[in-house]
Amino acid sequence: MTNVVVPQLGESVVEARVARWLKQPGETVSAGEPIVELETEKIDLEVGAEHAGVLASIARQAGEDVKVGEVLGVIDGSGLVHRPVPTGAAGGATAAAPAPPAVPAAQAQVPSAEVSARATPTARRMAEEHALDLSKVAGSGEGGRVIKRDVEAFMTHGDAAGPAPTAVSAPAAVPAATQPSPAAPRSERQDERIRMSKRRLTIARNLVEAQQTAAMLTTFNEVDMTAVMALRERRKEEFRKRHGVGLGIASFFVKAAIAALRAFPRVNAEIQGEEMVLKHYFDIGIAVGAAQGLVVPVLRDADRMSFAEVEQAIRDFAKKANDGTLTLEDLRGGTFTITNGGVFGSLLSTPILNPPQVGILGLHKIADRPMAVHGQVVVRPMMYIALTYDHRIVDGLDAVQFLVRVKDFIEDPGHLLLEG
């Protein structure tokens, strides 16, 4: 017998929730085959069988919270399955098995474990919620894996709509004295209770904890994006042909933030007890909105990355967040975070710290605004930027100067070359 246990879930993650079992007691499993899906505060992951055999029993059911090391189920490595054998009325002869009961259409479409193994957890969950057969969905992910957007596309275009109902002609004439029919009764108001996911619960807990434990303050500035946008316009085609990825504004702000962090190292620190821990490396978190909640994958050693590498990594993070394929390693650590609400149209906001970090830079929508330049009113593409910081170790003067430094680097991106 081999226990199936909750594996190590990564840095600071000690608890998970059983999302669903991919195998049921009595079913055979192969070594390495996924048998149960867990939902953590950061990602969904699959737990595979260490050895081949039969799933003998399930210890924790779907929906239960479990901790690292706890037993989820047991695999019988002998491969023997003991099932009761039906006997006839006389002499113990096996009676003819009755015809299996009809399976409802919705049940018949639930994906099998074999098909589920080639789909991401998010795709499987969507298929289950909408009673879709994953075997009919073409996968566009790595190795033909079915991902979220494949299920969405199948839901939109996979099944042809039935023929429109034939229009019924109206009566030739309506009596003038006919009274209007009474209005249809108002539909009942309904409440829906949905259990929050582990990720949503963790986001909620972390945001409240940040507000309760940190002395958060936000300072604002505005940036003239003319130079960066002109540079992008001149170089975008060459950049794409050379590197295979577009040149966005994110890489400029990553590089500008790193240059400012070098000048103001306390913004790149954290508090541990009565000590400040200054980080002399730059792991920059990039906030990404996903269907299951906000995630912050990390650009490891971002100061050593080129503009192209930053843009490629951010694009990959966005795709993996959408597909539900981010790993714990993608989300581990981080010394400073950048969040861009501007991609959703936000003009101004106050970001909340990502503990235990003490600084987060908020980017916003680029909008044309009239500005006074050299005594003349001109229209320029402007962006409001915000820095939320922990006032316990970051002084207001440093925070303001940090944001001014970012502004200077963006308005004159040539400085970034000098910074190296």
* 255-312 residue pLDDT tens: 999 999 999 999 999 999 999 999 999 999 999 987 777 889 999 999 999 999 999 9
Residues 222 and 320 in one domain: yes
Position 171 in a domain: no
> Which residue in 30, 23, 27, 104 sits closest to 62, CA to CA?
23
Q: Please count the CA atoms within 13 angstroms of the CA of 40 that sit on its side-chain side.
A: 24
Close Cβ partners of 17 (under 8 Å, ≥ 6 residues apart)? 38, 39, 40, 63, 64, 65, 66, 197, 198
Instruction: Supply the residues annotated as catalytic.
Output: 391, 395
> DSSP states of 37-96 as a string?
EEE-SS-EEEEE-SS-EEEEEESS-TT-EEETT-EEEEEETT-----PPP--SSTTPPPP
Q: Residue 179 pLDDT more than 70? A: no
Residues 261 and 369 in one domain: yes
Given 119, 135, 157, which residue is the final one in a domain? 157
pLDDT-derived band at 11, boundaries 50, 70, 90 = low
Q: Residue 117 pLDDT more than 70? A: no
Question: Total domain count for the chain?
Answer: 2
The residue count of the chain comes to 420
Position 178 in a domain: no
Residues 316 and 387 in one domain: yes
Close Cβ partners of 167 (under 8 Å, ≥ 6 residues apart)? none
How much is the pLDDT for 157? 73
Q: Is the distance from CB of 182 to CB of 176 less than 8 angstroms? A: no
**Is the Cα dihedral 239, 244, 249, 254 positive or negative?**
negative
CATH number at residue 228: 3.30.559.10
Q: 146 lies in which domain range?
A: 2-79+106-157
Q: Residue 164 pLDDT more than 60? A: no
Residue 262 DSSP class: H
Q: Residue 192 pLDDT more than 60? A: yes
Q: What is the 3-state secondary structure (H, E, C) of 143-171?
A: HHCECHHHHHHHHHHHCCCCCCCCCCCCC
How much is the pLDDT for 305? 95
Of the chain, the percentage scoring pLDDT greater than 70 comes to 81
The SS3 of residue 342 is: helix
| 111 CA to centre of own chain | 23
Sheet holding 53-58, edge to edge: 2-5, 71-76, 53-58, 28-29
Given 157, 177, 195, which residue is the final one in a domain? 157
Q: Which residues pair with 17 in a beta bridge?
A: 39, 65
Round to whole Å and give the CA distance between 388 and 359: 6
Task: Kindly state the helix (H) or strand (E) to which residue 115 belongs, with its residue range.
Answer: helix 113-116
Position 74 in a domain: yes
Give pTM, 2 decimals: 0.66
Average pLDDT over all residues of the chain: 82
Tokens of 249: 């504004």
Round to whole Å and give the CA distance between 58 and 73: 4
